[in-house]
Amino acid sequence: MSAPRRRGACPTLAAPMETGDGWLVRIALRGGVSTAQLSGLAHAAGRLGNGLIEVTSRGGVQIRGLTETSAAEMASVVEYLEIGLKTGLSALTGPLAGVDPEEIADPRQLAAAIELRAGAFAERLSPKASLIVDGGGVFGIGALGADFRLTAEARGWRVEIGGRDFGLHDAETAAGIAADGIERLAALGPEARARDLPQERGERKGGARPG
């Protein structure tokens, strides 16, 4: 079991965080969970923790009230239940990506392309580093903060890195800009966030997103 994480860190199954009501683990899900998996997770949360399961803003779950020992047991339970976990930097898309009739563009292929290109160095990023590919629609995710954000517009994909605007591009170019930014961020080390990146060519002066 690793040492308690500092406040503001990102707890995981492998590195839980000690809080006021016990130890906390956060499970980043890759894909959905079955009824049986969810039932098993709920049973384990009651047996090993205080029974409280919370859904995070990014579609994961966190379990509270664990002890240092039971937090390690929870990792074994998740493995036994064969719950798929995200590793490295995973792109977050909207809950109805690809099926929302009001979506400007399907973000899934673009998200997968960036994940693939960034895979070689994503493990060197901060655990809190985030990538959003937002196709718009009824349940867009524009309100969520992110280090890297690609947003579908009528004429292409708007690229933002660290809250700064890198312009509107076709999907292939947008993926390249995002992957390059992720690689540069990885080179700064696991404490860095996208806002720490120096201004680059192609970034709009002032960094403001156009209205």
pLDDT over 90 at 163, yes or no: yes
pLDDT computed for residue 94 by the predictor: 86
Q: Which of 108, 112, 182, 184 is nearest to 152 (CA)?
A: 108
If one compares 20 and 122, the residue with the highest pLDDT of the two is 20
pLDDT value of residue 202 = 54
What would the mean pLDDT of 110-130 be, rounded to a whole number? Answer: 87
Q: Please give the backbone phi and psi of residue 165, each rounded to the nearest 5 degrees, phi first.
A: -90, 125
User: Higher pLDDT residue, 66 or 27?
Assistant: 66
Length of the chain: 211
205 pLDDT exceeds 90?
Answer: no
Percent of the chain with pLDDT over 70: 87
In single-letter form, the type of residue at position 176 comes to: G
Averaged confidence pLDDT in the chain = 85
Please check the confidence at residue 10 and state whether its pLDDT lies above 70: no
Cβ atoms of 63 and 53 closer than 8 Å: yes
Mean of pLDDT values over 104-128: 89
pLDDT 10s digits, 52-109 = 898 886 678 899 999 999 999 999 999 999 988 876 677 888 888 888 999 999 999 9
Tell me how far apart the alpha carbons of residues 80 and 35 are, in angstroms, rounded to a whole number: 15
**pLDDT in the model for residue 120:** 86
Residue in the structure block whose two tokens are 């960036």: 114
Res 197: pLDDT? 93
Angle formed by the axes of helices 108-118 and 171-188, nearest 10°: 40
Contact 167, 202 (CB under 8 A): yes
What does the DSSP assignment read for 129-194?
--EEEE--STT--TTS--SEEEEEETTEEEEEETTEEEEEE-HHHHHHHHHHHHHHHHHH-TT--G
